Amino acid sequence: MKKASALLLAALLAMSALSGCASSGSSDVITIGVFEPLTGDNAAGGELEVAGIELANELYPEVLGKKVVLVKVDNKSDKAEAATAAARLVEQNKVQAIIGSWGSSLSMAAGNIVMDAKIPAVGASCTNPLVTLNNDYYFRVCFIDPFQGTVMANYATSKLGAKTAAIIQEVSNDYSVGLASFFEDSFTKTTGDASSIVEKGNYQTGDKDFTAILTNIKQKNPDVIFAPGNFTESALIIKQARQLGITTPFLGGDTWETPDFLSVGGAEVEGAVFSTFFDKAMVTTSEATKFLAEFEKKNPGVEPAAVTALGYDAYILILDAIKRANSTDGPAIRDALASTSGFQAVTGSTTLDANGDAVKDAVIKSVTGGKFTYLDYVKAQ
């Protein structure tokens, strides 16, 4: 047994030595860290984002005459892991900039690290306001939750004529709780009736049975149900609601736009409406045309997800900032990023505000015929 374990150890050592050679960096390349959940609860979102980043890297492999190398690390959808992973990118891989992460709390875990190291980070789809707040080195190419909540509340009141709503939130998920609260504020303000939210249900990440909350809601008979949250749980909620005979429209947020939402939800998620960042019906820049064409070439017949487009945007924005700064120095790239204005990204013209958040338009999509389809378009405020 001792021999076997010694052998195993030797094998491990040999492999680490081999792989060590492969990932060593040098000064004539620019390394960009990709910091995403590749395993764990958020893996689906992470994968979609990485697809966009890799596509952008293939199309734009160079800046300032140097090759751009991506270094991917898995943050396992876990905060402690995310913090070490980010520190590893900064210190071991000596990256010049970081892209990521899907999941705001994971991005927040890297917040202090990038700030201390003065390495700029660009989040692709993390929408929680806290990510960039008080952090000079964190930026993002997406809008934030207060805007998203308002968009959906307005959609509910003006397009659906809703007077009452029920909320189902994933109480252990910061994204869900935040978005639900912004929706509630905006909805009660528009209806002018504090009691227009007739029922609020909470569940924990990983729960599978929502029949109790839904039966309660059915009794109250609201005009819409707002249920932002993880795609698996949300799809199950809608499925079970339909099984219980609830025909009320379901509204949600950007996390729903993953293939898994459709596969888990099946026919029952038909008609679900949510806000997101991009759709091919909303092409406003030449970059978007290019992105769609290249994506189609690589994945024939597959619709790109909005977060894939955002991953792509995060990458080209960093490259653009490096070009504008004409330097690979962290603070210089940061300054260039902070002054981004009218950048022609896939998801539309992008301007970063004082916090480093993108001010941009939202798209509303719904599920029809087992696909995400464009429904409406909301201008940035």
Partner 1 sequence: MSKKTAFSIAAIGAILLLALVLNSVLDSYSKRVLNLCAIYAIIALSLNLVNGFTGMFSLGQAGFMAIGAYAVAIFTVPVELRAQGFYLEPMHPAIANIELPLIVALLLGGVLAGAFAFVIGFPVLRLRGDYLAIATLGFSEIIRIIFTNTQSITNGALGIKNVPSLSNMFFIYLAAIIVFVLMRLLLSSSFGRAFKAIREDEIVAEAMGINLFKHKIASFVISAFFAGIGGGLYGALLGTVDPKNFMFTLTYNFVLIIVLGGLGSMSGTVIASFIITIGMEWLRFFDDTLILFGTEIPIFRPGLRMVVFSILLMVIVLFFQKGLMGQKELSVDMVKGLVSRVKGLGKKRGDGK
Partner 2 sequence: MAKVLKSNLAAAIMAIMLAIILIYIYSAAAIKMETAVFVQHMVNGLSLGSLFALVAIGYTMVYTILSMINFAHGDIFMMSIYFAFFAVSSFHMPWVLALFCVIATTPVIGALIERFAYRPLRDAPKNSVLISAIGASFLLENAATYLFGGRPKALPDIPVLTRVITIQSVNFQVVSIVIPIITFVLLAVLLNFINRTKTGIAMRAVAQDYEIARVMGVNINWIISLTFIIGSALAAVGGFMWGVRYPGITPTMGVMPGLKCFVAAVVGGIGDIKGAVVGGFILGLGEIMIVALFPGISGYRDAFAFVLLIVILLVKPTGILGSKAREKV
Task: For partner 2, give the closer residue by CB, 171 or 283.
Answer: 171
Q: Which of residues 230-269 bind partner 2 (CB under 8 A)?
A: 231-233, 235-236, 239, 243-245, 260, 263-264, 266-267
The closest of 151, 346, 166 to 254, measured between CA atoms, is 151
Among 94, 163, 189, 200, binds partner 2 (CB under 8 A): 200
Whether residue 142 contacts residue 132, with contact meaning beta carbons closer than 8 Å, is answered with no
CA 357-130-148 angle, to 5 degrees, is 60
Q: Compute the distance between CA of residue 288 and CA of residue 344 in angstroms, rounded to an integer.
A: 9
Whether residue 309 contacts residue 277, with contact meaning beta carbons closer than 8 Å, is answered with yes
Among 112, 202, 328, 349, binds partner 2 (CB under 8 A): 202
Task: For partner 1, give the closer residue by CB, 79 or 239.
Answer: 79
Q: Which of residues 10-49 bind partner 2 (CB under 8 A)?
A: 37-44, 47
Minimum distance from residue 108 beta carbon to partner 1 (Å): 5
Minimum distance from residue 198 beta carbon to partner 2 (Å): 11
Task: Verify binding: residue 79, partner 2, rule CB under 8 A.
Answer: no
Task: Verify binding: residue 129, partner 2, rule CB under 8 A.
Answer: no
Q: Map residues 106-125 to x or -, x wherever contact with partner 1 holds by CB under 8 A.
A: --xx-xxx--xx--------
Minimum distance from residue 378 beta carbon to partner 2 (Å): 29
Three-class secondary structure of residue 129 per DSSP:
helix
- For residue 60, with 0-12 CB atoms within 10 Å meaning exposed, 13-18 middle and 19 or more buried, which class applies? middle
Q: Compute the distance between CA of residue 304 and CA of residue 52 in angstroms, rounded to an integer.
A: 9
Amino acid at 212: A
Q: Which two tokens stand for residue 106?
A: 């994971």
Q: Compute the distance between CA of residue 190 and CA of residue 126 in angstroms, rounded to an integer.
A: 27
The closest of 48, 99, 102 to 76, measured between CA atoms, is 102
Task: Verify binding: residue 259, partner 1, rule CB under 8 A.
Answer: no
**How many helices (H) and strands (E) in the chain?**
12, 16
Which residues touch 334 (CB under 8 Å, ≥6 apart)? 118, 120, 136, 137
- Which entry of partner 1, partner 2, none binds 233, CB below 5 to 8 A by partner kind? partner 2
Q: Binding residues for partner 2, per CB under 8 A?
A: 37-44, 47, 77, 171, 199-204, 206-209, 211-213, 215-216, 218-219, 231-233, 235-236, 239, 243-245, 260, 263-264, 266-267
Q: Binding residues for partner 1, per CB under 8 A?
A: 1, 5, 12, 15-16, 18-20, 22-23, 38-39, 72-74, 79-80, 83-84, 87-88, 90-92, 105, 108-109, 111-113, 116-117, 128-130, 133-134, 170-174, 176-178, 181, 202, 204-205
